[in-house]
C-alpha cells in the first residue's frame, strides 16, 4: 500500500526531526573549554620563549560537570599538542564495594564514547578491588575504526576514598602517564594527537578538583624575565618539574643582586635559601622538609607577600624567606641544575575589566632564554 504524498512528507519530517534530535543532542550542549593553567584567576603562561596572558579562567578552579546523554560527565573541548601535559586531581568518594570504576577518554569527533562515531585516542579505566577498595588495574586502550585495540594494563596505585593526582604528557611518539608524580607507563600513539577534540571523564562518585591542559617541556638552565615588570604583592610563580639525582634550584634577582636563591641538594636531601646583596651572602635558612625525589614530578609555587616569600610544594608551605630587599625587586629568575620543567605560570592578582583589550598584553612583556647571566659578581 502506497502512502499519500502528504503522509509520506509528514513521516519523513518526523523521522528527520527524530534523527536530528538524537544526533544533535550533544552538539547543542554547551561544552566547556579546558583551562591551560592552574592559577586561580589571571595567568601568564609560558608559550615558546614568551608568555601568553589570560586575564580570567574559562571555568572555576574546581572542575565543573556537564549534563549529557543522561549523565553528569566531566567534558571539555580541547586539542592536545606535543609537549603539553594534562593534569587531573580529585578524590574517589566511595567506600568498599563492587563495580566502581573511573574512566578518562581523550576523544576525537564526539564528546562521549560512541561505538558508531568518532575515536578514543586514549582510554584509561581504573578498577578497584571490590572488597578492600585497594587499587586493582589501570587499563589503557584505543578505539579505532569502530574497534577496541589490544589492552595494556598497569597496577593501579590509587585507593578508594582517597585523593589522587594523575598527569598525561604528550611526547614525540607516546603518552607518558604519571601517578603521584611517579612514571607509571608509556603508551605509544595508535592514533595521531590531532585527532583529539574532547576530554571526557566519568566515574561513580568521583570528584575532580583541578583539571588543566597546558605547559611545554623546558630544561635548566633557563633564565626568565618576569612578565609585566616583575612580581607584585600577592603574585606567585607556579611550576611543575622533574629533578634528577643532581642538585637544582632557582635564583631570583633584580638584575644585579641575588635576592633569593633556593637550592635543593638531592644527595643530602636538604633545601636551603639565601641572598647575596652587594656581593655579600646573608644568613642561610633551611626548609622544614624535602618533598623531592629523583625522577618524580613535583608542583611548586613561590608566593611573594609584603614581607616574605612563601615557598610551597603541593600546596604545603616548606619555607618562609623574609625579604632582604623590596619585594618588587623580584624581576627575573633562573632555573639552574638538573631540572626538567613541564609547566611555568606566573599567577597575577591583576584585575582587568571585562572590556579591557587583553590582546594588547599577549606577548608584550616577559621572555625566556637559555643564555644566563651571573648575579652579584
- Supply the CATH number for residue 141's domain: 2.60.120.200
- Per residue in 227-263, pLDDT tens? 888 888 899 999 999 999 999 999 999 988 999 999 9
Q: In terms of domains, do 122 and 250 share one?
A: no
Domain-terminating residue out of 190, 214, 238: 214
Asked if residue 252 lies in contact with residue 240, where contact means CB atoms within 8 angstroms, the answer is no
Confirm whether 18 is domain-assigned: no
Confirm whether 142 is domain-assigned: yes
SS3 149: coil
Averaged over 122-146, what is the pLDDT?
85
Q: In terms of domains, do 205 and 223 share one?
A: no
Asked if residue 320 lies in contact with residue 309, where contact means CB atoms within 8 angstroms, the answer is yes
Asked if residue 104 lies in contact with residue 200, where contact means CB atoms within 8 angstroms, the answer is yes
Residue 17 predicted with pLDDT over 50: no
The one-character DSSP state at 375 is S
Averaged over 361-365, what is the pLDDT?
59
Asked if residue 132 lies in contact with residue 220, where contact means CB atoms within 8 angstroms, the answer is no
The number of domains in the chain is: 2
- 92 versus 186: the higher-pLDDT residue is 186
C-alpha cell at 89: 586531581
Confirm whether 370 is domain-assigned: no
Q: In terms of domains, do 228 and 141 share one?
A: no
Q: Give residue 349's pLDDT.
A: 72
Number of C-beta neighbours around residue 38 at 10 A: 23
Q: Give residue 86's pLDDT.
A: 98
Confirm whether 43 is domain-assigned: no
C-alpha cell at 169: 604528557
Domain of residue 237 covers: 218-349
Confirm whether 23 is domain-assigned: no
C-alpha cell at 239: 611550576
Q: In terms of domains, do 101 and 206 share one?
A: yes
Q: Give residue 308's pLDDT.
A: 94
Residue 193 predicted with pLDDT over 60: yes
Residue 359 predicted with pLDDT over 60: no
Residue 96 predicted with pLDDT over 90: no
Q: In terms of domains, do 148 and 238 share one?
A: no
Q: In terms of domains, do 330 and 235 share one?
A: yes
Q: Give residue 364's pLDDT.
A: 60
pLDDT band at 99 (very low <50, low <70, confident <90, very high): low
Residue 24 predicted with pLDDT over 70: no
| Highest mean pLDDT, choosing among 12-16, 20-24, 64-68, 151-155 | 151-155
State the pTM of this model.
0.87
Q: Give residue 255's pLDDT.
A: 87
Confirm whether 255 is domain-assigned: yes
Asked if residue 376 lies in contact with residue 258, where contact means CB atoms within 8 angstroms, the answer is yes
Confirm whether 81 is domain-assigned: yes
Domain-terminating residue out of 189, 214, 239: 214
Q: In terms of domains, do 300 and 325 share one?
A: yes
Q: In terms of domains, do 286 and 308 share one?
A: yes
Q: In terms of domains, do 252 and 290 share one?
A: yes
Q: CA angle, corner 82, sides to 78 and 87, nearest 5?
A: 55
Q: In terms of domains, do 69 and 155 share one?
A: yes
Confirm whether 134 is domain-assigned: yes
> How far is CA 61 from its chain centroid?
12
Percentage of residues in the chain with pLDDT exceeding 70? 84
Phi and psi, residue 358, nearest 5°? -70, -20
Residue 138 predicted with pLDDT over 80: yes
Asked if residue 202 lies in contact with residue 126, where contact means CB atoms within 8 angstroms, the answer is no
Q: In terms of domains, do 182 and 287 share one?
A: no
Q: Give residue 131's pLDDT.
A: 62
- Please report how many Cα atoms fall inside a 13 Å half-sphere around the Cα of residue 178, on the Cβ side: 21
The one-character DSSP state at 227 is G
Q: Give residue 199's pLDDT.
A: 96
Q: In terms of domains, do 248 and 275 share one?
A: yes
Q: Give residue 197's pLDDT.
A: 96
Domain-terminating residue out of 160, 180, 214: 214
Amino acid at each position: 500500500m502506497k502512502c499519500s504524498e502528504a503522509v509520506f512528507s509528514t513521516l519523513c519530517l518526523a523521522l528527520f526531526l527524530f534523527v536530528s534530535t538524537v544526533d544533535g543532542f550533544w552538539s547543542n550542549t554547551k561544552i566547556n573549554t579546558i583551562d591551560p593553567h592552574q592559577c586561580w584567576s589571571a595567568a601568564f603562561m609560558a608559550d615558546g620563549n614568551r608568555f601568553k596572558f589570560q586575564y580570567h579562567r574559562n571555568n572555576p578552579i574546581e572542575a565543573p560537570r556537564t549534563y549529557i546523554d543522561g549523565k553528569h560527565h566531566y567534558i571539555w573541548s580541547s586539542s592536545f599538542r606535543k609537549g603539553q601535559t594534562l593534569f587531573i586531581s580529585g578524590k574517589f568518594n566511595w567506600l568498599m564495594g563492587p563495580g566502581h570504576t573511573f574512566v578518562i577518554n581523550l576523544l576525537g569527533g564526539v564528546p562521549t564514547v560512541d561505538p558508531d562515531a568518532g575515536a578514543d585516542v586514549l582510554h584509561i579505566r581504573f578498577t578497584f578491588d571490590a572488597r578492600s577498595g585497594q587499587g586493582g588495574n589501570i587499563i589503557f586502550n584505543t578505539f579505532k575504526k569502530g574497534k577496541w585495540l589490544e589492552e595494556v594494563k598497569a597496577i593501579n596505585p590509587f585507593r578508594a576514598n582517597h585523593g589522587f593526582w594523575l598527569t598525561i604528557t604528550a611526547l614525540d611518539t607516546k603518552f607518558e602517564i604519571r601517578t603521584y608524580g611517579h612514571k607509571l607507563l608509556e603508551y605509544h600513539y595508535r592514533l595521531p594527537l590531532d585527532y583529539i577534540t574532547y576530554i571526557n571523564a566519568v566515574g561513580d562518585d568521583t570528584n575532580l578538583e583541578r583539571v588543566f591542559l597546558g605547559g611545554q617541556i623546558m630544561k635548566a638552565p633557563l633564565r626568565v624575565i618576569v612578565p609585566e615588570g616583575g612580581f607584585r604583592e600577592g603574585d606567585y610563580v607556579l611550576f611543575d618539574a622533574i629533578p634528577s639525582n643532581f642538585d637544582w634550584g632557582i635564583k631570583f634577582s633584580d638584575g644585579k643582586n641575588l635576592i633569593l636563591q633556593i637550592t635543593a641538594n638531592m644527595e643530602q636531601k636538604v633545601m636551603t635559601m639565601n641572598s647575596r646583596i652587594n656581593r655579600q651572602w646573608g644568613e642561610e635558612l633551611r626548609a622544614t622538609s624535602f618533598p623531592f625525589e629523583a625522577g618524580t614530578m613535583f608542583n611548586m609555587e613561590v608566593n611573594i607577600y609584603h614581607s616574605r616569600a612563601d615557598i610551597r610544594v603541593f600546596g604545603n608551605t616548606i619555607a618562609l624567606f623574609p625579604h632582604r630587599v623590596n619585594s618588587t625587586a623580584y624581576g627575573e629568575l633562573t632555573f639552574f641544575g638538573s631540572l626538567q620543567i613541564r609547566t611555568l605560570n606566573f599567577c597575577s592578582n591583576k584585575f582587568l575589566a571585562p572590556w579591557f583589550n587583553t590582546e594588547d598584553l599577549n606577548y608584550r612583556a616577559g621572555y625566556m632564554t637559555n643564555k644566563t647571566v651571573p648575579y652579584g659578581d
